[in-house]
Each structure stands twice: as C-alpha cells, then as structure tokens.
C-alpha cells in the first residue's frame, strides 16, 4: 500500500512545496514542524498540506520526512499569513516561512541542555585557555556550556579536557521556568477625562474578537502608551496574547520599564539583539501561549502566537517598519493583514499618522481615537523658524547665534537642550584644499563620511573604512584635508566650544556598541546627567526626557530635496516628533528650526502647529499625482557588476511589461544611488490606479519577462518607501 504523502514548505528561496512520504507510524498534519532532507542536508520545515493524490510514478522516488519537532503546529491563520505575504510582496514563500521559524538553535524535541560547574582543583598542566575557563566558572555555579565557552572565548575541547582532569563536571541545566504573567490590574493610572474616553474605547475594542483597526491619534506627550495599555489589559484579562510592534529596539528600554510599572512584570521581547538562548526561550513561550505580551521589532509579526488577540503598532508612521532586505514588506501594513486574517483588533498609534492611515481614518475605514492635548496640562512646544539666509552662523559653524543664545539660557536654567541633526559622524565629506580631491568609496557611488571618534573615513552604504590620511593621496599635499559640512560629532565639538561648562553627549547609532549601553545612556539623559544632547533620529522617537525643554533642529531642510514622494511627509513627521521631546513634564517646550526655506509648507505648518493644513495640502497633492494611497507604486531594482549588463537587462525587462492602461511603467533610470558595493543599479517605477491587483500584474510580467542570470539581480519592492 502506498504511504501517505504530504506537501512540505521548506525555508529556502522557493515558492513551491515539496512532497515527502510519511514513514509508517508517524502522524503528521498540516502545520506540523518537521525535519526533512533537502539535498545534502536536513532542514526544519513545515507540513503545508496533505497530498491525497501523489503522482504514482514519483511516489517511490520521494524521500521520507524526518523527525517531527516537539513544538506546537503552526496555526492555519499563520500559514495563511505566510501565503498572503508571499503572494503580495512576491517574496518566495519559503523565505517568508523562514521568518516564522527563527527560533534559534535550541529548537527541537525537548532537549536537555547541559551545564558545567567547577568542582576540583586546577590540573597540573594549565594553559591560558584553561585558566580563562576556570576564571569564568570560579563562582562554583552551574553555567550553560555554550555561555561559559563564549565568555571564556575557548573551544569545547577545553571543557572536555578539564572534565577528564576532574576539575569540572557536566550536569543537566534545570528547565527554564515560564515567565511570570503580567497583572492587568497591577497599577491602573488615573486618567484625565479625555484619556478616559479614549481608554474606554481601547478597552471596548479589545474586549471582543473581530477585525477592526483603530488609529490612536494623540499629540506627543498625550499618554498614548498609557491609553493603549488599557487595550492590552483587556486582552490579558481575556487570556489572549498581544503583540506590540515598535519601529526601533532603541525605543524599548523605557517602554519595558513603563510596562512593568503598569503590569508588574516586563513583557517578552523579540528583536535581532536577543541571545540565541533567549530567542529560543521566547519563541517557545510565544508558541505555547505562555507569553501574554510580546514587544518587538517588525520580525515579531511572524511569531507563532498560540492565541493572538490584539496587535498594537506604535509610531505607525515610522519608515523603519519597512524592511528592504530579503522580503520587502511593510510591518504596519502586514500587521493589519495579520489582524484581518486572525479576525482581531489592531491599534495603530501616532502623533503624526502616515498619510495612508490618515486617509483611512478620514474615509471611516479606521476608527479614529483622539487625544488632543498633553497629559497634565503641559503645552505643546512653541516652534520658531530661524532663517539661515538672514541669521545663519558664520562659515564653518552650524549653530546660529540665536539658537546658541537660547541654549545658553536653557543650560543656565538647568534645563536640557537637544541639538538634532540626522547625520552620523563628523563630516559628510572630506576634500583636499590643495587639489580639490574628494574622498569617495571605491565601490559605492558615495562620499566617505569622516568619523572622528573612530578615526576613520567610512562608507555608509557598504561599511568600507580607512584611516583618515595626513596627506592627500591625489596631490601629496600635507595637512590639506578639510571637513565639509556637519555631522553630530562636529556639532558636539562646536557645542563644547560654545558652552565649555555644559555636559554634552552624542547619541548616534554608530557609537552604540550594544543595546544595554544605549539603554544606560538614555537613562543618563532621562536622569538629567547631561545638559546638551546631540543626536540623530535615534533620539527623535518616543523617549521621555523630563528636563528637556529646548530642541534645536540644525538642518530642517535635510530630508526635503531628495525626489522622494514622501519627503514632505517624512520631514513633517520627524521634526514634529523630535520637537515633541520638549516640554513634556515641566516648563514650556520650544523648538527652533534652522532652515533655508522658512516659506516651505512643511516649515509653515510646523511653526503654526497646523497639522490639518499639512495633511490637507499633502493629501490633495497625492490625490492629484495619483500617489499612494490614491494610486499604487511598485519598484523593480536591477543590479549587476557592470553598468551595460544592468542597463541592458532593465531595458529588456521594461519592454516586456504587459500592456494595461491602468498601469504606467516609468524608466528604467539609473538609481540615485547608482553604485552600491560595486554593483550598478537601475530602477523601474510602476505606478497604477488604486483598485488593481498590482502584485498579480508584477507576477505576470516577471513570469513572461527575461530571466536574471550570472550576477544580475532583480529585486521587487511592492509599495516602496525608498527610491534610492
Ligand atoms: P505619548 O506616547 O502620547 O507621547 P506617553 O504615553 O509617553 O505619551 O505619556 C507622556 C508622559 O505622561 C509619560 O511620562 C506618561 O507616563 C505620563 N502620563 C500620561 N498619562 C498619564 C496618566 N494618566 N497618569 C500618569 N502619568 C501619565
Ligand atoms: Zn561603499
């Protein structure tokens, strides 16, 4: 009798499933996680469907499935989600599946993990490696083997040797206990009347199943977090899991503390910085339903929740939600999709909603929940423009006299000031004053950025770096190199000159080695141990610095002129958010915008605190140009090791586009970032009316079009956020 056959989805860059035979005596159902042979290796994969009528000619050639893993099966709603995301983004289904299986190295049938403990005297023959390991274990406690090896920086053989000598013993580690559960009634806040209304709406929303999207729209400092915690509390009471997405893990430090003040314990975290062990433990807790609340980066979307009941997307407008490597997907949009498949409520949160969400709220597709004013009667910051054409700083300086004067006053009052500049490093360009030579990356179409703290010139696209030379490599002149333009490090230098007694701190992602350091630096600021903070967008978001009352935006125009259809929106959101850090707890916040274009609609809307004016003009402009959400966009990015190959392929591809009067194919054009890591890049932009299945159109096009070969690469980006 023929054995049962199942179709298995493997986590590799393929769309189709593979058929495998199920060995006798093994019970396998759709969703089960199994090990299967794939070529020369075994991979962890998922049974996607039964195959009741396998091709009899192939049957005997099929391989058997391997071990079934002792984890809960992936639920139908998660499998549908994987199918949906793959279908929409045109990413291989196996690659989307892979994001759900990132459970770390310890996945598998209940594996007992082994630990190691120091029990005897050191051996006669002592090596440096042995000494290091013994030092790590000197507390006499049981350490996990892998942790001890990592900490000591030695190989596993060192343990074996010391076990033979009787210095160490191996013992099983106790199993991890389930984390304590958050208590929905631990510390309920006193809400203001307007917060109360919003909080009740949140609670109501989370009190029942059914797909619904709410836009929690509240000014910075209005208490959005406290308010959506009421939805979380309700979900916990109902025994359902909540997923809270944050655009950046930098944000989670203060958040974890606030969560534990409200619920008594910290939530489970999910992001790329977790150790393999924590990752494995958290994945298992989510899958078993033992993690009532998960806070994470966009990848938390793909976790196998046992009983998901609520999704919250904090700072929903943030562009960090778009993943542009591997599978191109927008986590906010996919969160809404996941909510609709799972039939559960979704809360999108922002002080400056994306134009897409704003339009959805205006059209009634999303329920708008408003928090119109700051908590505790704090005023919104007062905003002024500083016209760099009239009152700019002297050459080579970047802080205008007026801004400097205001910072001086703030520091004297023992308040904090934030200088915001979205540019890492010391200077974006270095040139030779003698011959004009500019330092560029050898494999990217980009200048090298001077990083003084690291003493190197760095390419921000490929990571290439070199020491800053003393001599021009082009003309040989000595000490002729000049830094052009500012980065945060240079601003710190200027601030230190202007305010020699003030304590300054630079916060920039490249200076932060690990998340714990970043959290402790943010705490130092919150505790008032810094007078002047100089930061990139890392400080713009979400943080609460009680003594910060002044924000100076050093170059408000920086994001405007780059040909991106969302440039105005981004600038409005970012500046609103960074200035929103000011005056949250006491005193009046002020924001200064140093700009060359004080008449620009974005600057005018910010200065007038007229959000409506901004959305009205932006929505009208999008509607007129048929840009999202009134039309749809997709990008094709073609790259190759040489320019003619990339361009030739891009042209052939463009001419193979199916004719459809609802779709416009623009390009190919050389990408604004024409070369990255030695690869020449061309872009095709596809623009369509709103009501068409653009993914299907793209799929049909790519199926009929020329195929990539050699080192040609084609990336598909549906709903692109970046146009570089
Ligand atoms: P938002 O996310 O809207 O910018 P937050 O949720 O961070 O605002 O709230 C701003 C500050 O006000 C936080 O320090 C928060 O703890 C505090 N806060 C807000 N609402 C309350 C409340 N009802 N009781 C006590 N503190 C509150
Ligand atoms: Zn480079």
**How high does pLDDT run on average in the chain?**
92
Q: Is 155 exposed, middle or buried, given 0-12, 13-18 or 19+ CB atoms closer than 10 A?
A: exposed
pLDDT for residue 322 is more than 60: yes
Right CATH for 193-376 from 3.90.70.10, 3.40.50.11540, 3.40.50.300, 3.30.230.70: 3.40.50.300
- How far is Cα 327 from Cα 93, in angstroms, rounded to an integer? 10
Average pLDDT value for residue range 426-433: 95
Cross-strand partners of 241: 308
Average pLDDT value for residue range 292-307: 95
Tell me the percentage of the chain whose pLDDT exceeds 70. 97
**How many degrees, rounded to 5, is the angle at CA 127 between CA 126 and CA 132?**
100
Task: Give the residues surrounding ligand 1 with Cβ less than 6 Å away.
Answer: 189-191, 195, 218, 220-226, 375, 544, 584
Q: Is the dihedral of CA 399, 405, 406, 407 positive or negative?
A: positive
pLDDT in tens, 156-169: 889 999 999 899 99
- How far is Cα 28 from Cα 170, in angstroms, rounded to an integer? 36
pLDDT in tens, 346-390: 999 999 999 999 999 999 999 999 999 999 888 999 999 999 999
User: What does pTM read for this prediction?
Assistant: 0.86
Residue nearest to atom 18 of ligand 1 (CA): 223
3-class DSSP state of 597: coil
Report the CATH fold assignment for 378-423+486-620. Answer: Rossmann fold (3.40.50)
Q: How confident is the model at residue 523 (pLDDT cuts 50, 70, 90)?
A: confident
At residue 272, the pLDDT reads: 85
Distance of CA 703 to the CA centre of its chain: 31
Q: Which atom of ligand 1 is nearest to the CA of 190?
A: 23
Residue 351's closest CA among 332, 371, 368, 366? 371
pLDDT for residue 92 is more than 60: yes
Q: Which atom of ligand 1 is nearest to the CA of 351?
A: 3
Strand locations in 429-547 (E): 429-432, 449-451, 456-458, 465-467, 481-484, 504-507, 532-535
Residue nearest to atom 21 of ligand 1 (CA): 223
pLDDT in tens, 534-593: 999 888 876 789 999 999 999 999 989 777 889 999 999 999 999 999 998 888 899 999
Q: Which ligand is nearest to the CA of 229?
A: 1
CATH number of 631-718: 3.30.70.600
Mutate which of 196, 200, 225 for ligand 1 pocket (most atoms within 8 A of beta carbon) = 225
Ligand 2 ion: residues within 5 Å (CB)? 441, 444, 459, 461-462, 464
At residue 384, the pLDDT reads: 96
At residue 274, the pLDDT reads: 86
At residue 110, the pLDDT reads: 45
Q: Which atom of ligand 1 is nearest to the CA of 371?
A: 3
Q: How confident is the model at residue 108 (pLDDT cuts 50, 70, 90)?
A: very low
Give Cα separations from 252 to 123, 246, 248, 711 (angstroms). Answer: 46, 7, 7, 40
At residue 109, the pLDDT reads: 42
At residue 662, the pLDDT reads: 96
- How far is Cα 218 from Cα 214, in angstroms, rounded to an integer? 12
CATH number of 5-101: 3.40.1440.60
Tell which wins on pLDDT, 549 or 56.
549
Ligand 2 center–CA 671 separation, angstroms: 15
pLDDT for residue 107 is more than 60: no
Residue nearest to atom 1 of ligand 1 (CA): 221
At residue 275, the pLDDT reads: 83
């Amino acid at each position: 009798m023929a054995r049962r056959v199942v179709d298995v989805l493997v986590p590799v860059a393929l769309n189709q499933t593979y058929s495998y035979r199920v060995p006798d005596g093994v019970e396998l159902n759709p969703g089960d996680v199994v090990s299967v042979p794939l070529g020369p290796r075994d991979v962890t994969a998922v049974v996607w469907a039964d195959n009741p009528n396998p091709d009899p000619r192939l049957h005997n050639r099929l391989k058997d499935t391997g071990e079934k893993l002792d984890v809960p099966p992936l639920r139908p709603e998660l499998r549908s989600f994987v199918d949906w995301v793959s279908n929409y983004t045109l990413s291989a289904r196996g690659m989307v599946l892979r994001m759900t299986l990132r459970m770390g190295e310890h996945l598998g049938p209940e594996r007992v993990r082994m630990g190691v403990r120091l029990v005897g005297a050191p051996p006669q023959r002592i090596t440096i490696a042995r000494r290091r390991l013994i030092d790590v274990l000197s507390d006499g406690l049981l350490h996990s083997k892998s942790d001890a090896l990592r900490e000591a920086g030695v190989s596993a053989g060192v343990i074996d040797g010391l076990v033979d000598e009787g210095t160490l013993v191996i013992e099983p580690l106790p199993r991890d206990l389930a984390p304590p559960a958050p208590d929905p009634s631990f510390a309920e806040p006193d809400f203001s009347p307007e917060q109360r209304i919003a909080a009740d709406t949140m609670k109501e929303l989370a009190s029942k199943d059914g797909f619904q999207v709410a836009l929690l729209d509240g000014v910075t400092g209005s208490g959005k977090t406290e308010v959506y915690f009421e939805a979380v509390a309700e979900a916990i009471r109902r025994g359902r899991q909540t997923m809270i997405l944050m655009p950046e893990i930098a944000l989670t430090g203060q958040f974890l503390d606030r969560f534990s003040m409200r619920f008594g314990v910290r939530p489970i975290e999910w992001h790329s910085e977790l150790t393999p062990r924590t990752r494995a433990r958290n994945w298992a807790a989510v899958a078993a339903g033992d993690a009532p609340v998960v806070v994470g980066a966009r990848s938390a979307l793909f976790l196998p929740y046992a009983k998901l009941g609520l999704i919250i997307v904090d700072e929903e407008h943030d562009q960090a939600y778009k993943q542009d490597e591997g599978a191109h997907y927008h986590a906010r949009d996919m969160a809404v999709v996941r909510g609709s498949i799972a039939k559960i409520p979704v809360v999108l949160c922002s002080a400056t909603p994306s134009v897409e969400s704003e339009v959805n709220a205006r059209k009634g597709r999303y329920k708008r929940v408003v928090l119109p004013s700051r908590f505790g009667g704090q005023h919104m910051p007062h905003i002024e423009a500083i016209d760099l054409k009239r009152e700019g700083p002297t050459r080579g300086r970047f802080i205008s006299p007026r801004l400097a004067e205001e910072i001086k006053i703030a520091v004297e009052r023992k308040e904090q000031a934030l200088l915001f500049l979205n540019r890492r490093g010391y200077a974006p360009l270095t040139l030779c004053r003698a011959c004009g030579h500019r330092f560029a990356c050898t494999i990217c179409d980009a200048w090298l950025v001077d990083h003084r703290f690291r003493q190197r010139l760095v390419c921000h696209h490929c990571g290439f770096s070199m020491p800053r030379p003393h001599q021009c490599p082009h003309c040989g002149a000595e000490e002729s190199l000049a830094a052009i333009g500012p980065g945060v490090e240079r601003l710190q230098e200027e601030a230190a000159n202007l305010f020699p007694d003030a304590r300054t701190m630079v916060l920039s992602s490249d200076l932060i080695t690990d998340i714990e350091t970043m959290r402790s630096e943010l705490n130092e600021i919150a505790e008032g141990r810094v007078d002047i903070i100089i930061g990139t967008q890392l400080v713009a978001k979400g943080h609460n610095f009680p003594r910060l009352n002044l924000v100076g935006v050093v170059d408000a125009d920086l994001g405007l002129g780059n040909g991106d259809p969302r440039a105005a929106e981004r600038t409005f959101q970012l500046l609103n958010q960074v200035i929103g850090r000011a005056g949250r707890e006491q005193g009046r916040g002020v924001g200064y915008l140093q700009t060359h274009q004080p008449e620009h609609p974005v600057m005018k809307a910010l200065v007038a605190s007229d959000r409506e004016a901004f959305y009205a003009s932006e929505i009208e402009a999008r509607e007129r140009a048929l840009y999202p959400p009134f039309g749809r966009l997709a990008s094709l990015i073609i790259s190759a090791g040489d320019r003619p190959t990339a361009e030739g392929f891009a042209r052939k591809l463009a001419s193979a586009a199916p004719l459809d009067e609802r779709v416009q194919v623009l390009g190919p054009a050389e990408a604004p970032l024409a070369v990255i890591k030695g690869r020449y890049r061309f872009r095709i932009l596809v623009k369509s009316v709103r009501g068409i299945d653009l993914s299907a159109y793209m799929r049909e096009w790519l199926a009929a079009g020329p195929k990539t070969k050699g080192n040609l690469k084609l990336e598909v980006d549906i709903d692109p956020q970046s146009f570089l």
